[in-house]
Chains A and B, each alone.
Chain A
Amino acid sequence: MIAEGVRTSVIEPQTGWRLFDWRELREYRDLFYFMVWRDVRVLYKQTALGFAWAVIRPVFSMALFYVVFGRLARVPSDGLPYPVFSYAALIPWTYFSASLSGSTDSLISNSQMLTKVYFPRLIIPMTPVLAKLVDCGIAFLIMGGLMVAYGILPNRNLVFLPLLILLMMTTAIGTGLWLSAMAIQYRDVKHATEFLLQLLMYAAPVVWPVSLIPSSYRLIYGLYPMAGVIEGFRSALLGRHPMPWDLIAVGSASALTIALSGALYFRRMERVFADVA
C-alpha cells in the first residue's frame, strides 16, 4: 500500500538556472554532517603529529614571512610586531587556501559517488569549507599564545569576529563552487589552482598592510573579499586600528555575488557531472 503523504517526483531534462533547493538540503543534512565528519576524521589519520599539523602550517609560514618580509625586506606592519601582524592574517588565509583547494578537488576525488548515487551535489564542495574550520579553530590557540607573549589585547572589535568568519566562509564557498564545477569537466583547473592560490595570497594583505594601497584604489581593492576579512581579523584580534567597514562592506557585496553566481553556475553544470566525471 502507498503510505499517506507520498509525493510524486518528476524527472525531466533540466533547463534554465536554479539556485539552492533548501528542502532537499535539509533532508540530506545528516549526509552533510557525516561528510564533514569524515573529512575531519580522515585528514590526519596515520600521521604522527596529527592535529599539530593544523598549527605547524600557519606557524611555519609566519616564521618564514617574519624572516623574509619582516626582517630582510622590512615590509611595514602598521606598528605591530611582524609575527603577530602576519599570523593574524595567516589564520583566515590558511583556512581560505585549504578550503579552496579542497573544494576545487572535491568533485573529482568524489567522482565515484557522483556516478553511483544521488544526493544534492552542493554538499560535496561545501564539505571542505566546513571541515577546515576545525584547523582554523586550532590555529586560533596559537594566536592566543602570541598575543600573551607580545602583550597585545583585543578590544571590543572582537565581537565582530563571527561576522568576519562568515564572510570568509562565503568567499570560500563561492569560489569553491565555481572552481569545482569547472574542474570536473576541465581538469586543467585543478592544476591551475596552485598558481591561482599563490597569486591570491600575494594579492591579499597577508605579508603587507592595506595601508600601502593608495586611498583612491582602496574601495576597488576591497572587491577582493579576503582584503576586508584579513584587515578585519587584525582589527578584531590585535585591537590597534579600527574595523575596516568600507572594505568589509564592498567585500561582502562581492562575496555574495561570487557565491550566488557560483551556485547558479554549479547547479547548471551539475546535471552533466555524472557524465563527465
Chain B
Amino acid sequence: MSNLAIKVEHLSKRYRIGMKEQRPDTLAGAVSAMLKSPLSNIRKLRNLSRFRDHEEADVLWALRDVSFDVRHGDVVGIIGRNGAGKSTLLKILAKITDPTSGRIEITGRVASLLEVGTGFHPELTGRENVYLNGAVLGMRRGEIDRKFAEIVEFSGVEKFIDTPVKHYSSGMRVRLAFSVAAHLEPEILLIDEVLAVGDAAFQKKCLGKMGDVARDGRTVLFVSHNMGALVSLCPKSILLVDGEKKAEGPSDAVVSDYLEIGAEGQGEALWDPSSAPGNDNVRLRAVRVVAGDKTSADVDIEQDINVEIEFWNLKQDAQLAVSVHLKDQMGVSVLSSLNAHSANLIRDQWFGKAHPVGLFRSVCRIPSNLLNDGRYTIRVLVLSDMANREVCVDEAVSFFVHDTGAMRREYRGKWVGVVRPKLAWDTELLIDGAPAAVRELPELVPEPENIVLNTETRLPL
C-alpha cells in the first residue's frame, strides 16, 4: 500500500463571478431592459453552472493545475492571501464541490472543519446540538455517546448544556462547537481558519488540541492566516498564489516566501501623476515605509519605522495637515496620528502655515518596540483646513513587523496584544519572610490568565 494520504494531480477549479451590469440610459431602455430581464436572468442563473470551452470574461480560475502529495502523518499548512484558492482547495478535498479538472486520491477517513458549529440550531439545547453537529461531522451515534462527557468538559459549558443554544453567548457557542470538532477522530483532518475564534485562552487550548491530533500521527491539512500557529503546528507548508502552487517545503521557508510576495511594491507605493489619488488641490505622489535607512516592507521590531508621505500641493496658500491610520491584519485599528502641533512629539515646520504650490514630504516616525509582530496596513489622509479630505487612501502600503527574538530571551510564548511596547518594570521586596497567617491561607491561587491589553484607540478621522 502506498503511504500517501492525499495525492493531488493537476487540480483546477473555475467559478463564474458576477459581471458588471449594463445600465440603460434612457427611460425606454430601462423599460425594455426590465421586460427582457427575466430572459437574461435565466441565462445568467443557468450559466452559474455551465461553462463554454473558450475563456469567458467573468470566469475565475480559483485553482489552476495544482499538484502535491501528502504522506500519512504529515501536518501540512496551506498559506496564501485571500482569494488565493486555499478554501477552494479544502472544499474540493472535502467533496463539498467538484473540481473542474484533475484528480485526487485520498486514503483514509476524512473529516473537514471548514467552520465550527455547522448545523447548530438555536432552538435546540447544547446537548442536542452536540449530537446533531457530531453527526454532521460524520460521527456515529455511539461514538458521540462515548465522547459526550469529554466534549462537554472540554467546552466548559457544563452548566448550560440543557439550555437552548440561542441563550448562549457567541463565545460559549463557539467553544461548544469547537469541542465537538476537536473530538473527531478521522485519519485525515482538513481545517480552515477555525482557530480564529474564541478568546485567547480558548485559542491556546485549541492549538494544544490540534497539536495532540498531529502528534497522534494523523494527517492534517491546515489553512490559516495565523502564521505563528501555522509554523508551530505544521512542519511543512504549501504556498498558493492566485490559484497556483508557488512554493512547497519547510514551513519557515514557505512563510518567508509568502512574506516576500506579500510585500508587494517592497514597502513603497508610487503613483503616476495621471492616476495619483487626490483632487485638483492635492495629489499624492508616494507613500513608503522606511526602516534602518532603506525602504522595506519588512521591519525589524527593534527598528524605528518612518512612514513617508509625498504629495503635491496644487493650491496656493492651502492649510494642510497629514494623517496616518494603522490597522493590523485583523482590520483592528492600532493607532492614528496627525502632524498637528498638539499631537506631535516634535514640531512640524509646515503645519499651520500656508503651503505654496509644490512637492512636500511628511514623515511620521513610529518608535521601535511599539508594534507587535504581524502585518499592518497604512491609511493616508491629507486634510485642508482641518476639515476637508483632499486625499484618503486605504491600505496605501502594508508592511510586516518581524520579531527577531530580541525580546524573547526569557519568554518564548505568544505575545498577546495589538501593541508590544517595552514598559518600565521594577519589583521590590516589601517584607522579608512570611507570617503564619499568610502561609496557612487555603489554596486560592487563581489560574494565571492571559493578560489582554485593550489598546484599540480611535481618533475621529
Contacts and interface: CB of A to CB of B under 8 A. Distances in A.
Contacts of B115: 116
Interface string B98-109: 111111111111
A48 interface: no
A9 B108 CA distance: 8
Given A6-B108, A13-B101, A113-B119, A31 B136 contact: yes
Contacts of B94: 117-118
B453 to A, nearest CB: 34
A202 B294 CA distance: 80
A73 to B, nearest CB: 37
A274 B131 CA distance: 24
Contacts of B95: 11, 118
B49 A272 contact: yes
B365 interface: no
Contact of B118 (A6, A28, A113, A276): A113
A34 interface: yes
A191 interface: no
Contacts of B108: 2, 6
B49 A185 contact: yes
B97 interface: yes
B124 A8 contact: no
Interface stretch (A39-47, A58-66, A160-168, A232-240): A39-47
Contacts of A13: 98-102
Contacts of A119: 136, 138
A229 interface: no
Contact of B48 (A6, A38, A276): A276
A165 to B, nearest CB: 26
A21 interface: no
A77 to B, nearest CB: 41
Contact of A185 (B48, B112, B124, B137): B48
A11 B106 contact: yes
Nearest to B129: A38
Contacts of A186: 42, 45
A11 B121 contact: no
A219 B386 CA distance: 84
Contacts of A118: 94-96, 112
27 contacts: A1-B72, A1-B217, A2-B1, A2-B3, A7-B107, A10-B103, A11-B95, A11-B106, A30-B139, A30-B141, A38-B121, A38-B128, A38-B132, A42-B124, A45-B123, A116-B96, A116-B118, A117-B112, A117-B119, A117-B137, A185-B45, A185-B46, A186-B45, A271-B97, A271-B98, A272-B97, A275-B97
Interface of B: 1, 3, 15, 42, 45-46, 48-49, 72, 91-109, 112, 114-115, 118-119, 121, 123-124, 128, 131-132, 135-141, 187, 217
Given A9-B105, A34-B131, A115-B114, 5 more contacts: A12-B104, A38-B128, A41-B128, A116-B114, A275-B49
| Chain A to chain B: the 6 pairs with minimum beta-carbon distance, closest first | A272-B49, A11-B104, A31-B135, A118-B95, A274-B97, A271-B98
Interface of A: 1-3, 6-14, 28, 30-31, 33-35, 38, 41-42, 45-46, 112-119, 185-186, 269, 271-272, 274-276
